[in-house]
């Protein structure tokens, strides 16, 4: 299994390595023993994903807005809107073989969730963390 995750840095390999390690640790802490290979996709995520020939792969994207978990009709409206916007991206080609079931979303408040625990962030980043 390979997970292509939106995010990272086109210029800084260390950021991407740290990002990969953090995701691996996240999966391990969630009890996943066979941690999937993680590819940090950055701005070329669609190209990287579509060129990868492995069959067992998923694309993990920021949802950009909340997706209602309890109302299937509403969930599909948000998904269709998001898919429409992805296909307008400059790195999208109409012949991309990306299937709907390969696309998964992070919760919209992921960044807020990380920032909610300022004490842990301070411990992790030490003097490099500006809590303002």
The pLDDT tens digits for 72-98 are: 667 677 777 777 777 776 666 665 677
* Residue 90: per-residue pLDDT: 61
* Residue 120: per-residue pLDDT: 78
Q: In the chain, what is the straight-line distance between the N-terminal and C-terminal CA atoms, in Å? A: 39
The pLDDT tens digits for 93-105 are: 665 677 778 888 7
Q: How far apart are CA 38 and CA 59, in angstroms?
A: 10
Q: How far is CA 68 from CA 5, 36, 52, 74, in A?
A: 22, 27, 31, 6
* Residue 91: per-residue pLDDT: 63
Which among 42, 50, 57 is positioned nearest to 6, based on CA atoms? 42
* Residue 93: per-residue pLDDT: 62
* C-alpha torsion sign, points 65, 68, 73, 75: positive
* Residue 8: per-residue pLDDT: 74
Which residue ranges of the chain lie beneath pLDDT 50?
Answer: none
């Amino acid at each position: 299994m390979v997970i292509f995750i939106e995010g990272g840095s086109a210029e800084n390999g260390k950021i991407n390595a740290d990002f990969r390690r953090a995701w691996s640790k996240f999966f391990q802490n969630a009890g996943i023993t066979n941690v999937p290979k993680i590819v940090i996709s950055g701005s070329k995520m669609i190209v990287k994903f579509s060129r990868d020939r492995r069959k067992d792969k998923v694309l993990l994207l920021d949802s950009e807005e909340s997706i209602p978990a309890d109302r299937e009709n509403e969930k599909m409206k948000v998904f269709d809107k998001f898919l429409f916007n992805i296909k307008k991206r400059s790195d999208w080609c109409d012949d991309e073989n990306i299937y709907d079931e390969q696309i998964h979303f992070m919760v919209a408040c992921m960044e807020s969730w990380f920032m909610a625990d300022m004490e842990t962030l301070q411990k992790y980043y030490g003097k490099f963390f500006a809590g303002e």
